Amino acid sequence: MIKISPSVLASDFSALGAESIRMEKSGADYLHLDVMDGRFVPNITFGAPVIKSIRNKTSLVFDVHLMIDEPLKYIEDFKKAGADIITFHAESSSPVGETVDKIVESGCKAGISIKPNTAAEVVFPYLDKLSMVLVMTVEPGFGGQSFMPETMEKIKTLRAEINRRGLDIDIQVDGGINEKTVEPAASAGANVFVAGSAVFGADDASAAISTLRSLAEKSFSF
Ligand code: DX5
Ligand code: ZN
């Protein structure tokens, strides 16, 4: 099923609660929360306390994207803050299998993310325990970058493997998703679309979300 996950990185941080409510009213499925530590990526955003502060503002699914060096240490904190899905990077310093297990044990859905230069096969050993794989379509760290079409091959590889094993796993794309790039991503096999600039930068967030959704629905056929 197609899901749209607006990234708060492009929102008005001084009004994060109101921005979350606005996204829910605009028809978003998830709220994408980008956590950056200035180590795994060259940028710092926010952590669990900020996520906790908006948890009671909305019933949107909290889709937490950890771009941090030691995710294993903080899984419990993000669970307590109200995360529903926790995605961490395969390239981080934490052991991947143990981190997946910790997320699942906490009661959250687990996702693994891969950067543009990381092979899709890296996540294969963990697929049975995952709810989502996030294929980054830009280098993580900043909003407003251009979509990298060369990452589409990895989505095809992943979707083929997921189907071959008969699993029900979402493939998320993040970075440079807009009206032009949502179609190639959906036709490659992605079904969860993160969009920062394309939603928060639009005059009408509701129209932006429904356009992305309908374009994705037209192109996704798996
Ligand atoms: C980048 C973040 C993204 C970012 C996407 O590292 O993971 O979620 O907010 O922003 P746009 O949609 O503007 O490329
Ligand atoms: Zn993200």
Among residues 7, 51, 1, the alpha carbon closest in space to that of 205 is found at 7
Condensed to tens digits (0 to 9), the pLDDT of residues 86-117 reads 999 999 999 999 999 999 999 999 999 999 99
Q: How many Å lie between the centroid of ligand 1 and the Cα of residue 138?
A: 8
Position 51 scores a pLDDT of 98
Position 47 scores a pLDDT of 98
Residue of 37, 63, 170, 174 with catalytic role: 174
Q: Please tell me the distance from the alpha carbon of residue 111 to that of residue 116, in angstroms, as a whole number.
A: 16
Nearest CA residue ID for atom 6, ligand 1: 140
Q: Please tell me the distance from the alpha carbon of residue 6 to that of residue 108, in angstroms, as a whole number.
A: 19
Q: How many CB atoms lie within 10 A of CB 145?
A: 15
Q: Please tell me the distance from the alpha carbon of residue 128 to that of residue 222, in angstroms, as a whole number.
A: 19
Range 140-168 average pLDDT: 98
Position 164 scores a pLDDT of 98
Range 169-177 average pLDDT: 98
Residue of 12, 29, 34, 203 with catalytic role: 34
Nearest CA residue ID for atom 4, ligand 1: 143
174 as an active site residue: the answer is yes
Which of the pair, 93 or 221, is modelled with greater confidence?
93
Name the β-bridge partners of 85: 63, 109
**How distant is the alpha carbon of residue 95 from its chain centre?**
20
Q: How many CB atoms lie within 10 A of CB 221?
A: 8
**Nearest-ligand number for the alpha carbon of 138:** 1
Answer yes or no: is pLDDT of 222 > 90: no
Range 53-62 average pLDDT: 98
Which DSSP state fits 118? Answer: S
Position 182 scores a pLDDT of 98
69 as an active site residue: the answer is no
Question: Could you tell me the end-to-end alpha-carbon distance of the chain, in angstroms, rounded to an integer?
Answer: 10
Position 221 scores a pLDDT of 85
Atom of ligand 1 nearest to the CA of 175: 14
Range 38-55 average pLDDT: 98
